[in-house]
Homo-oligomer: A and B are copies of this chain.
Amino acid sequence: MSWQNYLEQNQARYLDELIDFLRIPSISSLPEHAGDVAKAAEWVAARMKRAGIEGVRVMATGGHPVVYGEWLHAPGKPTVMIYGHFDVQPVDPVELWESPPFEPVIKDGRLYARGSNDDKGNMLLPIVAVEALLNTTGALPVNVKFFFEGQEEIGSPTLPNFIIENQTLFACDMVISSDGGQYSEEQPALLVGLRGLSALQIDVQGPAYDLHSGMYGGAVQNPIHALARILDSMRAPDGRILVEGFYDRVRPLSNEEQAQIAAIPLDRGEFTTQIGLTEEDGFGEPGFSARERTWARPTLEVNGIWGGFQGAGTKTVLPAQAHAKITCRLVADQDPVEIGELIAAHVEQHTPPGVKATVQTLPNAATPYLMPADHPGNLAARDVLMAMYGKEPYYVRSGGSIPACTLFLNTLGAYTVNFAFALNDERQHSPNEFFRLASFEKGQGAYCQLLERLGR
C-alpha cells in the first residue's frame, strides 16, 4: 500500500485522535494547568510510540517537559529534528467562544478548539506522516528526531539550558518546525527571517521628591520633560533611529531579498484600516516599504511611559521621576547586547542637566535570525510546496522573534525550516481558534513528501 492510501484509510482515526488531544487543556501559563501540560506530554509520547517512533521519552526540563523520540536507521542520510509544541494559550475572554475551547466542534470543514492549529493540529502532522511511511515502506527516507515542548507559549524559559545539557542527543543537520503556517489557501510561504530583540528601561531621577510646581517650577529641571527630550533625541521625525551606531551592523538587503519581499502583495489601505488608522497615517523610515520596515529594518519602540500625576483633574506637581520602557527589534547582524550599550551611551550623552538618567537592560534579548533561502531544507520544502500549490512560495519574514529558531542555531548549529499549515485567519491566541480540516489532511502528505525529498 502507498502512504497516500494509508493516510486516506486512516483519516477518520487521525481526526478522532486530534480531537482527543485537543480535549486536554494544556495551558502552560497557568500553574493550575501544569498537570494538563504533563498529561499532554504523556499523550504525545504514547502517540509517538504507536507510530513506531523509537526511544520515546518525556524529559524533565525544570519547567514543562519535552517529549523526545527518534528513528535513526538511515545511514548516510541527513538527520532532521522535528519541532512542535503541545502547550496552548489561555482561553480568555472565554465568553467570546461560540463553543467551549476544550470541547472540539467541527463546522463547515473547520475544527474549532484552543490549540487546533497552534500547534496541536500541526504537530500531529509529522507523527502521522512517519507512521504512514513506516507502515507502508518499513523505513524513513532520513534520520528523524522529534522535539516537542510544553512551554512555547510562555517563551520557553528553561529550554536554553536544557538544550545545551543535551546537545549530543539533539544533534542534527536541520530542524523542521511544525509551528507556523502558509500565506494563504492558494499561496505557500517559507520563513527566512526573524527580528531580534533588545529590551531596556530608562529611569530619570530629578529632585528627591515631588515638588510644588508653583514654588519650584521654572528653576528645577522637570524629569518628564527631560525624558521627553531623551526619547525625542533617539528618533528623527521621519522615523529614522538617531542612536549613534544603531544601523552600523545592519546587513543591507540584497537585490534578490528586496525582490522576494516586493513580490509579496500588501494592501496598504487594509494594513492601516485594520488597526483603526487611515492611509494618510502612513509612517516609517524613508526609502523602505512597509514590509521592509517591519521585516528587515530595526526599530526602537517606546512600549510604555509613566511619571508624576496620572489621576483625574490637576495636581500641580513637578515630579521627582519619569520612566520609559523600550524594545528594539533587531535585524542581522545587530547584536542585542551591543544595541543596549549604544542606547545607554546615547542616553548618557543626551540627558539634560538637572536630572540623572540610568538605563537598565531587561530580559527577553533575542538575536536576529536570517535563514538562507537556498538552504537545503528550504530547497526541499520549496519543491514540495511547488508540487502542492503549483506556485513558487513567498519568502516571508516575521517582524517578531521565535526564540527556538535562534536557540537551535546557536546551540546545535542547525537552521530551522518552517513547514506548517496554519493560516492567518484561523485566530491563533484568540477566541474561536480553528484549523481547516483540508489543511490537516494536506499537511500529512506534505510531511511524507518533505521527508522523501530530503532523503534524495
Contact = CB atoms under 8 A, between A and B. Distances in A.
A188 to B, nearest CB: 21
Interface stretch (A92-100, A113-121, A174-182, A300-308): A300-308
Interface string A356-373: 000000111000000000
B280 A353 contact: yes
B303 A316 contact: yes
Contacts of A364: 313-314, 316
Contact of A301 (B222, B325, B355): B222
B229 A237 contact: yes
A299 B353 contact: no
A304 B307 contact: yes
B305 A218 contact: no
A239 interface: yes
B294 A322 contact: no
Q: Which of A195, A225, A319 has the most CB of B within 10 A?
A: A225
Interface stretch (A23-31, A374-382, A397-405, A413-421): A397-405
Contacts of A401: 214
Given A229-B232, A232-B228, A354-B282, A305 B304 contact: no
A363 B222 contact: no
Contacts of A294: 214-219
Contacts of A317: 303-304
A225 B310 contact: no
Interface stretch (A35-43, A130-138, A283-291, A338-346): A283-291
A12 interface: no
A284 to B, nearest CB: 5
A68 to B, nearest CB: 30
Q: How many copies does the complex hold?
A: 2
A218 B329 contact: yes
B283 A219 contact: yes
B325 A314 contact: yes
A359 B418 CA distance: 48
Contacts of A324: 224
Given A216-B399, A313-B362, A363-B313, A221 B281 contact: yes
A304 B293 contact: no
A217 B399 contact: yes
Interface residues of A, number: 79
Contacts of A301: 213, 217, 222, 225, 316, 318
B354 A275 contact: no
Contact of A307 (B214, B237, B305): B305
A169 interface: no
A52 interface: no
A322 to B, nearest CB: 7
A316 B275 contact: no
Contacts of A227: 228, 305
Interface string A215-258: 11111111011011101100101010000000000000000000
Interface in A94-111: none
A228 B325 CA distance: 13
B400 A283 contact: no
Contacts of A281: 220-221, 353-355
A352 interface: yes
A219 B298 CA distance: 11
Interface stretch (A83-91, A203-211, A435-443): A203-211
A399 B218 contact: yes
B329 A217 contact: yes
10 contacts: A213-B329, A214-B294, A214-B400, A218-B293, A218-B298, A225-B235, A237-B352, A283-B352, A301-B316, A315-B325
List the 5 shortest-distance A-B pairs measured between CB atoms, nearest first: A208-B276, A214-B400, A304-B308, A304-B309, A218-B293
